[in-house]
Structure 1
């Protein structure tokens, strides 16, 4: 009889931590600094809480695909840039708005920016 712990599916944060460990390794030529790792961790925590929504960053002409792989890819591509902070602020703005599913390109975040959330259904914040 096999051990259930050995055959379990990896948890989201297992995958995220594995990627962050690799990305901050001294053997990685584009090594992330500890402050960058923490910024990515915060961004991904907000994304997970919103069920990994598809999100557009108009300032960068960049769209994050609405799944874990899309967010990990975005983390790799945005790491070390101001886009990580912007993305986290957009996700926080969605949370403050009450329901990410209601946001669209005309949804203001109170600081003059808007957020585009695509057609993926997202559960309301609690």
Structure 2
């Protein structure tokens, strides 16, 4: 079963993504972190029932990744905006087996104590013109 995990607001840089979310919601986003595998960084806002909002952008201080960035960030341009929705599942491999091609392959990720697997298409762009959800499986406690 899939359930909504979080929403992503992308920007050409993190300051733009953060400002867009903070202005729209009249809140302050909290520090997030870096995603070394994809050369991105984020800020976060906890919502109800474990849901959260993520402001995300390419990290100009990170080395260029050896793969396409998730959420099609390599091709992102224009004003910051809500771009992606991410659904949580208990078994990422089983969920991907039920879906059409194009949702990507699982990538194992971690930051500090957080551990998760995420489906990421090779070219970074999700099906249906990047409107399909990305899939995440949390593997840590």
TM-score by length of 1: 0.29
Relative to its length, the structure with more strand (as a share) is 2
Larger radius of gyration: 1
TM-score by length of 2: 0.27
